A and B are shown apart, each in its own frame.
Chain A
Amino acid sequence: MPLCFGTDAVAFKQDCLVEEALPLLEFLQAHPGAPVNLFACTHLHSAVLQVLMALRPSIVALPGEAFLRRWLTPVFGPDAIVVPASPRAAL
């Protein structure tokens, strides 16, 4: 399971595929603004990205993976906090 749902936060791991979009959406609908940690995420399916973009949860860490970090930084804005040292900090 690439998505780790905590009580009120969610962490992404490895490749997040299209199946994750719906659970993520439901979680974020239940917990508006829940912190999301993307650090360990190596790929984000567009559908998952779309959910994140539409619901705008607080991103506590951008992905460590180079491509995603490079191009998701402008997407989630400069105020997205990058926590490179401790990927589990938010949980």
Chain B
Amino acid sequence: MNSPLLDRFVGEARDLVQGAAAALLALERQPGDEASINAVFRSVHTLKGSVGLFDFPAFTKLVHAGEDLLSAVRAGQVTLTPERVDRLLEAFDQVGRWIDEIDAGGALLDGAVGISRDLTMALRAMLPAQADPAGARAANPTADTAAATLTALDWLGGLPEADRLAALAAASNGREILAVEYVPATDCFFSGEDPLTLFRPLSSLCALVIDSTAAWPQSDALDPYQCILRFRIVTAAPRSEIESLFRYVIEQIKIAVITPNQLRAAVTAGSPGAGALPIASPVAAPSAMVIRIIEGQRTLLATARTATDRMDRLASVARIVSNLLTVADREADLTSWSDAMALARRDETGHPVVAWFDRWLESQATTASQTPAETPPSQGGPRPRIETADPEGRPDNRVSANRILKVDQAKVDSLMNLIGELVVSKNSLPFLAKRADEVHGSREMSREIKDVYAVIDRLAQEMQGAIMAIRMLPVSEVFERFPRLVRDVSRKLGKHIALVIEGEDTAADKNIIEVLGDPLLHIIRNAIDHGIEKPEDRAATGKAPEATVRVKAFQDGDQVVIDVSDDGRGIDPEKIKASALAKGIIDADRAARLSDQEAVNLVFYPGFSTAETVSDLSGRGVGMDVVVTTIERAGGTVAVTSRRGQGTTVRLSLPLSMAVTRVMTVEAGGGMLFGIPMDHIAETVRVRRDAVQRIKTSEVFVLRDSVVPLVRLDNLLGIDAPIWFGNGDDEEAVLVVHVGGNLIGLVVDHFREGMDIILKPLNGILAGVRGYIGTALLGDGRVLLVLNLKELF
């Protein structure tokens, strides 16, 4: 079972990987674009930080390798070649798959370590060549072997005093003191590692703390081959030595430079009374106040007029300065001060002291200007000097930025369902008002109910609008995948293609957006594979060698329209006809009668594919018919227009929202209500009984000079039609509907009103029932069955 933290990680990681891939593609288009490289680097860096919270070493290593390559790119050490982009995208893909695995099972599948190693090696191979290729990853202080920065240093306070003093002694010799935390991978024993031995060759080890990463398990719960140890050391060894020693586990160690102040603070905090340390630190500079007081003493001494006066003042100055130096722990200065004082007392002159003041103040001024960062004015808390950015890479600005609430889609869906129920229940109020009037005879009551209804109705509509707005997603959600797709496919086919995306802000309901993805992918693949010519063919026809695929989204009334157009060779109607003939989709007679546009529309027929050879991109036999089926299921339409030699445009039109369906209700089967989706209905007509003709067993009628077949809904639904005794003057109620491009007259008992309904698909044991799209609840509690005309005919 995934923990909430892991769930959040999964969501965040998906966004990060997506963002990184998008930024990488942008970077490839515009090499050197600072914003893009920073964006992709930041995403990967953040991802590395967050995955570090969990135990996915394979994941972490791969992300780390990716980050290293990106950091080399950012530093200008390597250029971003298409091969490097390929490797990085491959790594991002793998990371994406791992995120799915983590989402599904909370763990990586077997073999992740191997995959990670291969990809990591591939990424590392892209790094600038090292002087020593055999030890490419060894002892090399560039980005790929730099350890992360350690931030948690509170454990310094718990070090034995002797160890801290040893470190301080090393620091007083001017050596840099490092704190290193090494948390070996839990499976490190299996790879033959022995973490403890790593510390043996270390040239200087001031302190070594071994403990466990978590509380020690019970003795029977301990897995002896799962490493839960944590090693923390304080060392005076140079950073390069550490990094070389730990080069194979560099991602498992963290290093921080610690100042003697931190050690000292740890000493004083850890053991009261140890404040008077015997070691003077060369780095701890006196505070500004000490300098100011000593300056004041010098002025006091220099302004003395008489010799007696000077000697009086000298006594007090001597006391003040020696006290100050003691407090500030400046032993060396104290010695030189007492020397100067002794000289001054012997010669009864202030000169040696004034000279000491000048020397001292001068040296303070130079140290201060040389190392301003090294001399914090006060001994602050034990904060490490962090060398790089926050290693976890968690930007704080997320809090201050636009506050976005991430909500599980299921919650939004359930809210929408509730609002749908509310809309339906509110519709029963007019019935109630009618009953109040007609049954109980209270007109006033009826009017009051209607008033209340008006208010609830308005609120319900606003709620519906609001929930729709929440569910609206920009089409960019889908479009984001295309730059990658176009890049991969065009590289594979050796075509030069520029993808132009317009109107990615156009929003549509989440369900619609979800439906769009695969069909669009298919259309774009088709365009690149079949539509766009090879660069040399394009040059021959006088076109620019770089082809353009344009994906444009816009809103048109209550429809969202997406055009995918290319400037390729277009569809050849003759070729389509020939192909359709060969496949037996049409006969020669019909082929001859087809207009060019009708011929182009043949690509929508199931099983139609014109590519001579089946490529691995498109033309797998599933053609445009899949696109059409998918889009039509979502209530949309697909149209193809093509001009030979100039390109093809595929237009998808979809409703903005699928939540509310407009249906017309009809009565059939002696009082039963059925809904028919409005987009099928062409018109309603009344046809006289004697105008109905019979052709063999079928009934037809003539509608504006064309013959329209007549179907009785009762027959379709298997209900016995009432026996008709009337005369020819009686009229049939005929609903003229479009089904599959044909007009059909549907005979019903009565027409009823049109209404907006919230369609609930049939599920459970009803899921297999054909002929119905779904059901809706009516205001009076009846269930309206909505017909799926395509399945009925």
Q: Which of A's residues lie within 8 Å of B, judged by CB?
A: 18, 21-22, 24-25, 28-29, 32, 43-47, 49-51, 53-55, 67, 71, 74-75
Pairs A-B, 9 closest by C-beta atoms: A21-B224, A71-B208, A46-B196, A54-B216, A46-B195, A25-B224, A55-B219, A54-B222, A47-B189
The answer to whether the Cβ of B209 comes within 8 Å of any Cβ in the partner chain is yes
Residues B208 and A50 in contact, CB atoms below 8 Å apart: no
Residues A46 and B227 in contact, CB atoms below 8 Å apart: yes
Task: Scan residues 210-237 of chain B and give those whose CB is less than 8 A from a CB of chain A.
Answer: 210-212, 216-217, 219-220, 222, 224-225, 227-229
Query: Can you list 25 pairs linking A and B with CB atoms under 8 Å apart?
Result: A18-B189, A21-B189, A22-B224, A22-B225, A24-B224, A25-B219, A25-B222, A25-B224, A32-B219, A44-B196, A46-B197, A47-B189, A47-B194, A47-B224, A47-B225, A49-B196, A49-B210, A50-B212, A50-B222, A50-B228, A53-B210, A71-B205, A71-B208, A71-B210, A74-B208
Residues A53 and B219 in contact, CB atoms below 8 Å apart: no
Cβ-closest chain B residue relative to A56: B216
* CA–CA, A50 and B211, complex, Å: 9
Contacts of A71 in B (CB 8 A): 199, 205, 208, 210
Residues A18 and B219 in contact, CB atoms below 8 Å apart: no
Cβ-closest chain A residue relative to B231: A46
> Given A46-B196, A46-B229 in contact, is the A55-B210 Cβ separation under 8 Å?
no
* B217 to A: closest C-beta gap in Å: 7
* CA–CA, A47 and B222, complex, Å: 11
* CA–CA, A88 and B150, complex, Å: 43
* CA–CA, A15 and B194, complex, Å: 12
Residues B222 and A51 in contact, CB atoms below 8 Å apart: yes
Contact partner of B210 among A28, A51, A75, CB < 8 A? A75
Contacts of A55 in B (CB 8 A): 219, 222
Contacts of B194 in A (CB 8 A): 18, 45-47
* CA–CA, A29 and B217, complex, Å: 13
Contacts of B209 in A (CB 8 A): 74
Contacts of A45 in B (CB 8 A): 194, 196
* CA–CA, A45 and B210, complex, Å: 13
Contacts of B220 in A (CB 8 A): 29
The answer to whether the Cβ of B305 comes within 8 Å of any Cβ in the partner chain is no
Residues B217 and A54 in contact, CB atoms below 8 Å apart: yes
The answer to whether the Cβ of B160 comes within 8 Å of any Cβ in the partner chain is yes
Contacts of A18 in B (CB 8 A): 189, 194, 225
| Total inter-chain residue pairs, C-beta < 8 Å | 66
Residues A54 and B219 in contact, CB atoms below 8 Å apart: yes
Residues A29 and B219 in contact, CB atoms below 8 Å apart: yes
* CA–CA, A74 and B234, complex, Å: 14
Cβ-closest chain A residue relative to B210: A75
The answer to whether the Cβ of B200 comes within 8 Å of any Cβ in the partner chain is yes
* CA–CA, A74 and B212, complex, Å: 14
Which residue, of B197, B222, B225, has the highest number of chain A Cβ atoms within 10 A?
Answer: B222
> Given A29-B220, A54-B222 in contact, is the A49-B160 Cβ separation under 8 Å?
no
* B253 to A: closest C-beta gap in Å: 15
* B367 to A: closest C-beta gap in Å: 36
Cβ-closest chain A residue relative to B209: A74
The answer to whether the Cβ of B184 comes within 8 Å of any Cβ in the partner chain is yes
Contact partner of A74 among B160, B189, B197, CB < 8 A? B160
* CA–CA, A49 and B193, complex, Å: 14
Per the CB 8 Å criterion, the residue count for chain B at the interface is: 26
Contact partner of B227 among A25, A28, A47, CB < 8 A? A47
Question: What are the interface flags for B150-168 relative to A under an 8 Å C-beta threshold, 1 for contact and 0 otherwise?
Answer: 0000000000100000000
* CA–CA, A50 and B189, complex, Å: 11
Residues A46 and B189 in contact, CB atoms below 8 Å apart: yes
Contacts of B199 in A (CB 8 A): 71
Cβ-closest chain B residue relative to A43: B197
* CA–CA, A55 and B227, complex, Å: 14
Which residue, of B196, B200, B208, has the highest number of chain A Cβ atoms within 10 A?
Answer: B196
Contacts of A24 in B (CB 8 A): 224
Contacts of B193 in A (CB 8 A): 46
* CA–CA, A71 and B687, complex, Å: 102
Given contacts A45-B194, A46-B184, A50-B229, 12 further A-B contacts (CB under 8 A): A24-B224, A25-B224, A32-B219, A43-B197, A47-B189, A47-B227, A49-B229, A50-B227, A51-B224, A67-B200, A74-B209, A75-B210
* CA–CA, A60 and B221, complex, Å: 25
Contacts of B228 in A (CB 8 A): 50
* CA–CA, A47 and B195, complex, Å: 9
* CA–CA, A44 and B160, complex, Å: 22
* A9 to B: closest C-beta gap in Å: 17
* CA–CA, A54 and B213, complex, Å: 12
Contacts of B189 in A (CB 8 A): 18, 21, 46-47
Contact partner of A50 among B197, B200, B219, B224, CB < 8 A? B224
* CA–CA, A43 and B605, complex, Å: 76
* A82 to B: closest C-beta gap in Å: 16
Contacts of A75 in B (CB 8 A): 210
* CA–CA, A44 and B417, complex, Å: 64
* CA–CA, A29 and B84, complex, Å: 53
* CA–CA, A22 and B189, complex, Å: 12
> Given A25-B222, A46-B189, A71-B210 in contact, is the A53-B216 Cβ separation under 8 Å?
yes
* A90 to B: closest C-beta gap in Å: 20
Contacts of A32 in B (CB 8 A): 219
* CA–CA, A47 and B184, complex, Å: 11
Contacts of B195 in A (CB 8 A): 46
Question: What are the interface flags for B161-205 relative to A under an 8 Å C-beta threshold, 1 for contact and 0 otherwise?
Answer: 000000000000000000000001000010001111101100001
* A27 to B: closest C-beta gap in Å: 11
Cβ-closest chain A residue relative to B220: A29
* CA–CA, A82 and B209, complex, Å: 20
Contacts of B229 in A (CB 8 A): 46, 49-50, 53
Contact partner of A53 among B160, B184, B212, CB < 8 A? B212
* CA–CA, A53 and B631, complex, Å: 64
Cβ-closest chain A residue relative to B184: A46
Contacts of A74 in B (CB 8 A): 160, 208-209
* CA–CA, A18 and B224, complex, Å: 9
Which residue, of A21, A71, A75, has the highest number of chain B Cβ atoms within 10 A?
Answer: A71
* B161 to A: closest C-beta gap in Å: 11
Contacts of B184 in A (CB 8 A): 46
* CA–CA, A29 and B224, complex, Å: 12
* A76 to B: closest C-beta gap in Å: 10
